Amino acid sequence: MANILWQDRKRYFGLPLSFTKYSLSDDRLFVETGLLNLEQNEVRLYRILDLQLKRSLGQRIFGVGSIIVTSSDKSLGKFEIRNIKDSADVKEKLSTLVEQQREAKRVVGREFMGGADDMDDDDLHDGVL
């Protein structure tokens, strides 16, 4: 297995009482679920498009948070790394690694703000396209 930089379990009331494990290597994020029947998914970091940190009042009380990951991966797509310790630090580490992998792989992100139907003649003259 790859060099693991971070790992944690999904937590309940701040305690790792779950069979969902998360781990991060320098080029992949792994999500493993199950006790008897294990399922492991991974997403290559350069495929991650967006990260969002979410911390409810209950999560803040127990010192955990969740990271919402939007990726172009077909099997995982948009998923949540739920109830982990040091969620803000993990999000920053993940964000840094994503950028490093995107640069190393020379991946260019393309973000679209609405479709062509949202444009008018002024946008065409102003060089929006």
Q: Give CA–CA dist 110/126, Å, rounded.
A: 20
Q: Does pTM top 0.85 for this prediction?
A: no
In this prediction, residue 109 has a pLDDT band, given cuts at 50, 70 and 90, of low
Give the pLDDT score at 2. Answer: 73
Give the pLDDT score at 1. Answer: 54
Structure tokens at 30: 């792994």
Domains annotated on the chain, with CATH:
4-104 (2.30.29.30)
Q: Give CA–CA dist 51/96, Å, rounded.
A: 11
In this prediction, residue 54 has a pLDDT band, given cuts at 50, 70 and 90, of very high
Indicate the average pLDDT of the chain. Answer: 85
Q: Of 112, 119, 109, 111, which is closest to residue 48 (Cα–Cα)?
A: 109
Q: Is the pLDDT of residue 53 over 80?
A: yes
Out of 36-40, 84-88, 96-100, 111-115, least confident range: 111-115
Give the pLDDT score at 110. Answer: 57
